[in-house]
Amino acid sequence: MQTAKQITIVKASGKHETFEPEKLHSSLLRSGATEEMTKEVLSHILPELHDDMTTGEIYKHAFSILAKTNMPVARSYSLRRAVMDLGPSGFPFEDFVAEIFKAKGFKCETRQTLLGGCVPHEVDIVAYNEKKLIMIEAKFHNELGTKTDLKVVLYIKARFDDLKDNVFNYGGQNRSITDSWLVTNTKFSSTAIQYGVCKNLTMVGWNYPEKGNLQDMIEENPELLKKIFKNE
């Protein structure tokens, strides 16, 4: 039988790549699985691997094993994988984040071009209600190990700073920005978090902050859960 390193699998994008057990191991741990649970999943999956097996098939196999031992971890793993499958060919992440804000009572406009003090900027989402006007950058990564680092946060903060002194008409009234958000489906580096806190930039990642993170916001929204799992 071929070893795991010799197996070629097919990603959701259609791209072929060599299966790396370490990637599955890491994604399981990030979902809350213990080392023991992770080893059990791998011991079941590795003998079943074959060329041209899809990442979706591998994920479903892992979920079924996790569900027998720890359903909360299985749900977390399932949800995170479903969000990772968002992208240009499916439900765009900008629209996904806009749905979260709509569920909180905001009206939203996506993919807006707004004039800053110096240059125009493309803003992923503008969310507004009677009291707030929020500019949101939605940063999507399709690899679980990728982090949103300090360089990204510096760039986004500079764009929001160029917009903050201007007035914009949303909801029938001219007003200034009240909040700036950066939302990502993975994690932030420690220096990115440190800078964001220092500069009062609201940052939401998969498990940051401890309460009110992206996973929490999704699980609070049953209709959004239905949308992202509609192809399961």
Return mean pLDDT, the chain.
86
CA-wise closest residue to 164 among 123, 218, 196, 211: 123
pLDDT score for 215:
85
Q: Which of 84, 114, 148 is the last residue of a domain?
A: 84
Q: Would you say the C-alpha torsion 211, 214, 219, 224 has a positive or negative sign?
A: positive
Say whether both 120 and 34 belong to one domain.
Answer: no
pLDDT score for 91:
57
* Reported pTM: 0.72
Say whether both 218 and 175 belong to one domain.
Answer: yes
Say whether both 24 and 64 belong to one domain.
Answer: yes
- The CATH number of the domain where 121 resides is what? 3.40.1350.10
Say whether both 191 and 103 belong to one domain.
Answer: yes
Q: Which of 38, 55, 84 is the last residue of a domain?
A: 84
Q: Structural domain of residue 171, as residue ranges?
A: 93-228
Check residues 29 and 123 and name the one with the higher pLDDT: 123
| pLDDT tens, position by position, 156-171 | 999 999 999 899 999 9
| pLDDT tens, position by position, 45-104 | 998 888 989 887 888 888 888 888 887 788 777 777 777 776 554 458 899 899 999 999
Mean pLDDT (whole number) for 174-196: 95
In total, how many domains does the chain have?
Answer: 2
